[in-house]
Amino acid sequence: MRLLFLIILCFVLNGCTHYPAATSSLSGTQNAYLLRENDVLQLRVYDEREFSGKFKIDSMGNIALPLAGKINIRNRTEEQASFLIENALKQKGFLRNPKVSVEIAEARPYFILGEVTRAGQFPFQTGLTVYQAVATSGGFTYRADRDDITIRRQSAAGTGKEIRLSATEDTPILPGDVIEIGERYF
């Protein structure tokens, strides 16, 4: 009976997933950073240079590895992506026991809209806040309402749903976020 309880507890704690759980160093939050389109990954397959290099995640969430083909890693953590790539290399018969390291080389950009001097797409940098993002876009316009800042962010659960967050100038930004600066009327 105790053994059954421990097994059930392990499934609950692991989220009933077949992939290893991980938290990402990039996000700096308790939510794991999930890989998505336009992220560029640095893959290292130990002792196998021909499989190592930088790979961009395409619009379908795939990376294309030499000889191993396309592997879908959308909404996976870095550790889960490593696991999937190792399995693909084993299944294709190229390597017996591959050891793969996945790191984010370039995170997807963030976007800023509304009452800023230059709205648009900007490269993400670790530790970025709303205030720094506004500064990168040329600053607030004279009509900007600094109390009306919204962030549209993809759900951390990987469901593809978008969430809206009310933000302040000190709110951290994540890759792929869309920052909206509202307009004041007086």
CATH number for the domain spanning 61: value is: 3.30.1950.10
Mean pLDDT of the region 31-39: 83
What CA–CA distance (Å, rounded) separates 100 from 156? 24
Answer with the residue of higher pLDDT: 6 or 47.
47
| Domain identity same for 99 and 117 | no
2 is a domain residue: no
The confidence band for 26, taking pLDDT boundaries of 50, 70 and 90, is: very low
Question: Is 1 a domain residue?
Answer: no
Q: Which of 153, 149, 145 is nearest to 130 (CA)?
A: 149
CATH code where residue 165 lies: 3.10.560.10
Sequence-distant (6+) residues with CB within 8 A of 85 are 43, 45, 65, 68, 71, 73, 98, 100, 102
What is each CA distance from 68 to 32, 41, 50, 82, 178, in whole angstroms? 26, 16, 11, 14, 34
Give the mean pLDDT of 13-40: 55
Higher pLDDT, 142 or 7: 142
Asked whether residue 24 falls in the same domain as residue 77, the answer is yes
For residue 77 the two structure tokens come to 């953590």
Q: What is the pLDDT of residue 98?
A: 85
Burial bucket for residue 57 (CB in 10 Å: 0-12, 13-18, 19+): buried
Q: What is the pLDDT of residue 142?
A: 94
Q: Which two tokens stand for residue 74?
A: 């959308």
Q: Report whether pLDDT(74) > 80.
A: yes
Do 84 and 127 sit in the same domain of this protein? no
Residue 168 exposed, middle or buried by CB count within 10 Å (0-12, 13-18, 19+): exposed
Number of domains in the chain: 2
Tokens encoding 124:
């993400």
Range of the domain at 59: 17-106
- Whole-model pTM: value is 0.69
- Which residue type is seen at 142? Y
Determine, yes or no, domain membership for 36: yes
